[in-house]
């Protein structure tokens, strides 16, 4: 939102006038306020809510959708109560290549904890990690790495550990903190949805309490609107003070069909707009579309090797399969080209 | 909130005046609006936010707490972001005697489904239920009754079934629908907390999706702010349309220590105010109190046999043990006497 020079001049002129006539001060003050509000609204209405998006059908679809469901006169109007937006994180809100950030965190934890576990030198998957051989690691390996490195501590300790890592570790390609590698166009989407009274949720296959450590700061999304893969905790005491201890047990996996189940569990309503970028988001988009009324489904396609990465069917991380592309076409889902639809990728490119 | 007769007169006088002078219409209109806003704020500030509460230390504690944490000048100020309130349901927001409403619903489901299950006539716990012999039923019996009567259907079917039951079944003592048996003083608490930008959650040992069917309508609490005992669901398809099917498996039990775990899972922050009424709420209050800064913990004590029920240590439903009473004293928790602190019990008593 910005005010034009002309508007400021008008605003100041009125103010000067009001100072001359003493009796008219209160009334003039009200006039100033009204004038200011009118110009501010005017400026807001004419400003571009998505300046980092190139003009084109996708930007138009998003703006038209948000305007329509927020317009009380439209028969597609949706009350703020039901304006639910769900957005995947890895690859949709921030960089996921060459490895999910939380995996890098977990690998660093192994190295940090290794001196206390001499047996890891001869024990897989720790042995591979300690020798920097990550290629052969399976999803199950990562699960056991998570279980061991991110449990047995209180939720407060976990929070401190994660924050400390995030504030010190930088990404080697961009030489930036991982929390800086968020997509500027998506930050504008979150802001635009918030301005239109949407309830914006992150729905991630990643660890719920990892994402919650930074969601407010970098996305302006509070902890209670982060739904992710979650472990069990155990209520216990330390010096008579209650503590929640993280257990090495998964409560639920918030990926693929788990995303629809997680949305039902946490929100109890269907989203009306959903953003994803990989096969793990297919069911979330399908679930979103299955509701009545107007819906919008979008997929970020990584086709920009120069500014970010280009990958889809062949990538193990963030696979965007040929089947997903077919589904997108069949179901009229919007496939966002990072190369063509996004003017800038990161906030530091602005 | 109400406007005094004098205020209305002032308001109307100004309005008359404005009609006389045509040129001054806009300015006068603004004056009217301002005057109206000033009087409305004045009226709101002077009205009692908890009219169904008798004056006394508990009402004072609540009002003082809410005013302090909402006051930016106070060093106990809490930003709206962190103004989390958690309130138990059964026995705290509505009647739980002689049996939890969802148990009555489950028993009715057994009777309704019995013709399709002739084998139940000779099979416990169904046999006892069909013969109206409820005394011997254990918690485990109820769990298997829930598992069988409230699974195998889609979440939409479950919603319709619950709503249909709630709209038809009346409580024999009060001759009222169960959704009418809510406590007027607690509705005022929810409203008062909402007005002061609290995020108000129901945190119940009861079934999450049962409470969600009516939480918005009767408490003005949206589905995403209901945390309860939850079952697993399974994403599947019916005629190519996705469905979530309720499974007969419990995901987590949101009672006792489960309430603190559930609050962490769903909200990720500690409440600053919590209401309960039984042993099942002890850990929630303890968890609330363990946070830094000002906190308020309250327990509803059922000591009003005339207007509602009187029970505590001896009751199987909503047990308020001697241990809980000791804990309340030791920790400075507020014990609300329904008899002495509440002017009216139900909205229909007003």
Q: Which of A291, A253, A277 is nearest to A342 (CA)?
A: A277
Nearest-CA residue of chain A relative to B250? A251
Residue A118 has which token pair?
A: 């001499």
Q: What is the pLDDT of residues B81-117, one digit of tens each?
A: 999 999 999 999 999 999 999 999 999 999 999 999 9
CA angle A304, A138, A257 (to 5 degrees): 70
Q: Compute how many other C-beta atoms are within 10 angstroms of the C-beta atom of residue B203.
A: 29
- Residues B31, A27: C-beta atoms closer than 8 Å: yes
Q: Which of A125-129, B55-59, B64-68, B74-78 has the lowest mean pLDDT?
A: A125-129
Q: What is the pLDDT of residues B292-320, one digit of tens each?
A: 999 999 999 999 999 999 999 999 899 99
Residues 6 or more apart from A56 whose CB is under 8 A from it? A340, A341
Nearest-CA residue of chain A relative to B212? A268
Q: Compute how many other C-beta atoms are within 10 angstroms of the C-beta atom of residue B272.
A: 25
- Give A308's DSSP letter: S
A220: closest CA of chain B, how far (Å): 11
Q: DSSP characters for B213-281?
A: TTHHHHH---GGGEEEEEEEEEEEEETTEEEEEEEEEEEE--STHHHHHHHHHHTSS--SEEEE-SGGG
Query: Measured between beta carbons, which residues in chain B are less than 8 angstroms from residue A212?
Result: 268
Is residue A41 over pLDDT 70?
A: no
Q: What is the arithmetic mean of pLDDT over A76-96?
A: 98
Query: Measured between beta carbons, which residues in chain A are less than 8 angstroms from residue B27?
Result: 27, 30-31
Residue of B222, B230, B235 with shortest CB distance to A260: B235
Is residue A12 over pLDDT 50?
A: no
Distance of CA B300 to the CA centre of its chain: 12
Residue A309 CA to residue A298 CA, distance in Å, equals: 19
Is residue B1 over pLDDT 90?
A: no
Query: Measured between beta carbons, which residues in chain A are less than 8 angstroms from residue B25?
Result: none
Q: What is the arithmetic mean of pLDDT over A222-238?
A: 97
Is residue A22 over pLDDT 50?
A: no
Q: What is the ipTM of this complex?
A: 0.87
What's the Cα-to-Cα distance from B136 to each of B97, B133, B140, B198, rounded to whole Å? 17, 7, 11, 42
Q: What is the arithmetic mean of pLDDT over B274-287?
A: 98
Q: Are strands B170-171 and B176-177 parallel, antiparallel or unpaired?
A: antiparallel
This prediction has a pTM of 0.87
Residue of B27, B244, B260 with shortest CB distance to A27: B27
| The predicted structure's pLDDT at residue A31 | 64
Residue tagged 């809490």 (tokens): B78
- Residues B230, A265: C-beta atoms closer than 8 Å: yes
Residue B181 has which token pair?
A: 């048996």
Query: Measured between beta carbons, which residues in chain B are less than 8 angstroms from residue A233?
Result: 261, 264-265
pLDDT band of residue B135 (cuts 50, 70, 90) is confident
Nearest-CA residue of chain B relative to A265? B230
Interface mutation vs chain A, best among B84, B232, B265, most A CBs within 10 Å: B265
Q: What is the average pLDDT value for chain A, to the nearest integer?
A: 90
Query: Measured between beta carbons, which residues in chain B are less than 8 angstroms from residue A235?
Result: 257-258, 260-261, 283, 287
Query: Measured between beta carbons, which residues in chain A are less than 8 angstroms from residue B266?
Result: 224, 266
pLDDT band of residue B41 (cuts 50, 70, 90) is low
Write out the residues of chain A at the interface with chain B, using a CB-CB cutoff of 8 A.
26-27, 30-31, 34, 81, 155, 199, 208-209, 212, 216, 222-224, 226, 230, 232-235, 241-242, 244, 251-252, 257-258, 260-261, 264-269, 283, 286-287, 290
* SS3 readout for A155-175: HHHHHHHHHHHHCCCEECCCC
Nearest-CA residue of chain B relative to A261? B233
Is the bond preceding residue A125 a cis peptide, omega within 30 degrees? yes
Nearest-CA residue of chain B relative to A245? B261
Residue tagged 């009087």 (tokens): B39
Nearest-CA residue of chain A relative to B234? A261
Q: Are strands B334-337 and B296-301 parallel, antiparallel or unpaired?
A: parallel
**Dihedral-angle region of residue A73 (phi above 0 means left; psi in -120 to 50 means alpha; beta otherwise):** alpha
- Residues B223, A269: C-beta atoms closer than 8 Å: yes
| The predicted structure's pLDDT at residue B31 | 65
- Residues A234, B30: C-beta atoms closer than 8 Å: no
Interface mutation vs chain B, best among A27, A30, A265, most B CBs within 10 Å: A265
Nearest-CA residue of chain A relative to B243? A287
User: Considering chain B, what percentage of its residues have pLDDT values greater than 90?
Assistant: 80
- Give B54's DSSP letter: P
Residue A210 has which token pair?
A: 């990892």
Q: What Rg do the C-alpha atoms of chain A give, in angstroms?
A: 24
B340: closest CA of chain A, how far (Å): 33
């Amino acid at each position: 939102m910005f005010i034009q020079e002309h508007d400021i001049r008008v605003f100041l002129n009125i103010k000067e006038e009001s100072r001359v006539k003493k009796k008219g001060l209160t009334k003039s003050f009200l006039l100033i306020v009204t004038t200011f509000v009118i110009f501010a609204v005017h400026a807001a209405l004419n400003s571009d809510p998505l300046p980092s998006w190139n003009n084109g059908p996708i930007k138009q679809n998003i703006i038209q959708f948000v305007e329509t469901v927020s317009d009380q006169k439209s028969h597609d109007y949706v009350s703020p109560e039901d304006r639910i937006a769900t957005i995947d994180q890895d690859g949709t809100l921030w960089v996921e290549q060459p490895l999910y950030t939380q995996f890098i965190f977990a690998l660093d934890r192994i190295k940090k904890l290794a001196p206390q576990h001499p047996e890891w030198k001869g024990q897989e998957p720790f042995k591979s990690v300690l020798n920097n051989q990550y290629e052969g690691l399976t999803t199950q390996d990562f699960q056991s790495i998570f279980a061991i490195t991110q449990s047995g501590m209180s939720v407060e300790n976990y929070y401190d550990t994660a924050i400390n890592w995030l504030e010190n570790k930088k990404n080697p390609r961009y030489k930036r903190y991982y929390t800086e590698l968020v997509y500027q166009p998506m930050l504008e989407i979150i802001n635009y949805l918030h301005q239109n009274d949407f309830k914006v949720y992150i729905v991630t296959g990643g660890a719920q309490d990892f994402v919650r450590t930074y969601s407010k700061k970098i996305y302006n999304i509070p902890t209670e609107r982060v739904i992710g893969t979650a472990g069990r905790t155990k209520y216990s005491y330390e010096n008579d003070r209650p503590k929640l201890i993280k257990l090495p047990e998964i409560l639920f996996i918030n990926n693929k069909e788990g995303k629809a189940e997680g949305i039902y569990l946490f929100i109890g309503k269907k989203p009306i707009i959903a953003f994803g970028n990989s096969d793990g988001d297919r069911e979330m988009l399908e679930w979103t579309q299955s509701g009545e009324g107007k819906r919008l489904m979008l997929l970020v396609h990584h086709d920009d090797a120069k500014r970010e990465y280009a990958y889809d069917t062949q990538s193990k991380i963030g696979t965007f399969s040929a089947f997903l592309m077919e589904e997108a076409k069949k179901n009229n889902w919007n496939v966002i080209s990072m190369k063509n639809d996004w003017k800038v990728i990161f906030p530091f490119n602005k």
